[in-house]
Amino acid sequence: MREHWHELTTAWRRGLTPGLTWGWLVVVVALTGLRCLGERPGWTPSQVLGILGTLVIIAGQLATLSLTFSHPERPVTWARVWQLVWDFKGTWLGLEMALTVLMVPWGLFGLSSQLVARVWLPSRWVNLVGLHRRPVVITVAIIYLLVTTFCLIRGPRDFRRLTPGLRHPGRAGQMIRGIIVSLGLLGLWFGGSQLMVAGVKRLGFGTENLVRLATAAGIMLSWIGFQCVAILGVTTLIWCWCGAPSLPMIRRDRRHWIGVTIVAVALASGVSWQTMMARPAFANSAVISHRGVDHEQGVQNTLGALRRIHRERPTFVEMDLHETRDGRWVVLHDETLATLAKRQVTPRQLTLRQLQRLEITENGQHAHLASWSDYLRLAERFHQPLLVEIKTTSADSANMVQRFGRLYGQRLRRDGSRVHSLDYRVVATLRRQVPKLAVGYITPFNWVNPQSMPADFYSLQQISVSRQFILAAKQRGGAAYVWTPDSRAAMTRSWELGADGQITNNLRQLRQVTDQAPWRASWAILQNFIYSYI
């Protein structure tokens, strides 16, 4: 064990010789520049040129590292490096593209959401994925694992092409050990960063200047820590690809570290300033009751819950509709009544009258299902705007959406209510039929530019939301709501990201979060910054 650790630390030292260290700094500057250029939605010529330049710089650095490990007895010159990059430019590009795709789910050095939020696809493709998200996610996960496994087995063998004369190409087992080491380093960084977040939280009752200073310092330290972990992780993987060769010890040269430290601190300071000062945060946030309840008080989507929740004056009460067998609508979220009524039946199999007779139970409370007409009438009596989610199934009547728009579109518009749906066909139909009614699209997960699905507003899934998706959603003046943050931490992070509203099951807690002074929630700036890298 001690011998393996000695070999690994020797490889790290070889990967941080003066020439390679300055090369790493150039790579970090390029990636940081891309991150800054990508804060706003859309593509610009500077971004495209920056991406191309960054790919060339990364190829040069990786080539230098591979030559250092594969031929440690020969000096590495710039002429050899760039000749290698040029001779195998297609292979280098393919390698970088493959690594980019594999790293997108893991942050891509903080660029993942910026890249994905710029992807445009036809709306019918996006809708198809959204409506069949479970099988799609499972299929994509299996393909990802197969591609990763193939790269582990085949990649080291093909790496010979990029390093002519490589004596002992790496094996799959070596790559797995290298990945374990890299993940371990990432885990240490993440754990240390979370400790800094906890420290800033404890300062939340101190002075504003102290909290802001601690947040800025946390951003600097977490950024420097991530760059160090990333460099050591990449060095480990390239060393393993080269067969984990035994390397001669080199004499330490501490002089160049003074300049490296100065440049790194200056970069970290710039990143901290940009994060603290140059980004919109803590926007005015609408408070929206999810399924018409607050902290399990009442049975979801029922008249009794609506009577309770309207006293808290939420901006909207979010509720759900299913079509019944007789072509009417019942207020219900689930596609079956197995959970609420212990009946293996769907809303489309019963008439509205039959559904209203069923007693439903939730959190030890009992109620009956409500018809849409009764629910809407009660909301209008309370002057309570609604956020109506229209659920669709393959059993719905062919003209269900058109009929709903004709009967209720103008009425909902006058009430100040809104409609949204996971099915983009509902969104497109209602926008055409009732142009002045605000109609939004619900993203089941965030993986393309929201404006691939033109809508008046967007309800973005909280788990995968980022600042780039919120900015892209709001680019043309629409609102960006987040669903469903229920913990204080998730609410605060969504508030800091600039969400226009939050759809939550804990309404009073959300009010407490958004009523506090923003500087007391500065820890969320640090935590969102950390999460953007993973």
Q: Which run of H or E residues covers position 318?
A: strand 316-323
d(CA 388, CA 381): 17
pLDDT in tens, 383-417: 999 999 999 999 999 999 999 999 999 999 999 99
176 in Cβ contact with 170 (< 8 Å)? no
| pLDDT tens readout for residues 463-489 | 999 999 999 999 888 899 999 999 999
**What pLDDT band is residue 319 in, cutting at 50, 70 and 90?**
very high
pLDDT at 110: 93
Q: What is the mean pLDDT of the chain?
A: 92
The closest alpha carbon to 451, from 103, 121, 68, belongs to 121
Angle 357-362-365 from CA coordinates, rounded to 5°: 80
pLDDT at 256 (0 to 100): 75
- Grade residue 155 by pLDDT with cuts at 50, 70 and 90: low
Q: What percent of the chain has pLDDT over 90?
A: 71
Q: In the 3-class helix/strand/coil scheme, how is 459-494 assigned residue by residue?
A: EEECCCCCHHHHHHHCCCCCEEEEECCCCHHHHHHH
Residue 123's pLDDT is 96
Per-residue pLDDT tens over the stretch 259-284: 888 889 999 999 999 898 866 678 88
Tokens at residue 340, please? 């609420």
What is the model's pLDDT at position 2? Answer: 77
pLDDT, position 177: 86
* 174 phi and psi angles, rounded to 5 deg: -65, -40
**Mean of the pLDDT values across residues 98-109?**
90
Contact 375, 331 (CB under 8 A): yes
The confidence score (pLDDT) of residue 260 equals 87
Tokens 């099951």 sit on residue: 505
Which of 69 and 432 is assigned the larger pLDDT? Answer: 432
CA angle 480, 486, 492 (to 5 degrees): 65
Measured distance CA(344)–CA(353) in Å, rounded: 18
Q: Are strands 439-442 and 418-421 parallel, antiparallel or unpaired?
A: parallel
Q: What is the pLDDT of residue 523?
A: 95
Range with top average pLDDT, 85-94, 150-159, 356-365: 356-365
| pTM of the complete model | 0.93
| pLDDT tens track for 191-214 | 999 999 999 998 877 789 999 999
CATH architecture of 286-531: Alpha-Beta Barrel (3.20)
Rounded to an integer, the average pLDDT of 485-511 is: 96
Mean pLDDT, residues 232-239: 93
* Model confidence at 166: pLDDT above 70: no
Give the pair of three-digit tokens for residue 427: 């969104």
Name the pLDDT band for 168 (thresholds 50, 70, 90). Answer: low
Tell me which long-range contacts 499-502 makes (C-beta under 8 A, separation of at least 24). Answer: 499/283, 499/285, 499/460, 499/465, 499/470, 500/283, 500/284, 500/285, 500/286, 500/457, 500/474, 501/285, 501/286, 501/287, 501/288, 501/315, 501/316, 502/285, 502/286, 502/287, 502/288
Torsion-angle region of residue 140: left (phi > 0), alpha (psi -120 to 50) or beta?
alpha
Share of the chain above pLDDT 70, in %: 96
pLDDT in tens, 9-45: 999 998 998 889 999 999 999 999 999 988 888 888 8
Backbone angles phi, psi at 475, to 5 degrees: -60, -35
pLDDT at residue 71 in the model: 79
Q: Report d(CA 322, CA 324) in Å as an integer.
A: 6
The kind and range of the H/E element at 124 are: helix 123-131
The pLDDT of residue 253 is: 66
pLDDT band (50, 70, 90) for residue 157: low
Task: Read off the pLDDT of residues 114-153 as tens digits, 9 standing for 90 and up.
Answer: 999 999 999 999 999 999 999 999 999 999 998 888 877 7
Domain with CATH 3.20.20.190 in the chain: 286-531
pLDDT of residue 73: 76
- Residue indicated by tokens 């958004």: 514
Asked if the model's pLDDT at residue 436 lies above 80, the reply is: yes
pLDDT reported for residue 499:
96
Cβ atoms of 504 and 486 closer than 8 Å: yes
pLDDT, position 477: 86
Work out the burial of residue 149: count CB atoms within 10 Å of its CB; fewer than 13 is exposed, 13-18 middle, 19 or more buried. Answer: exposed
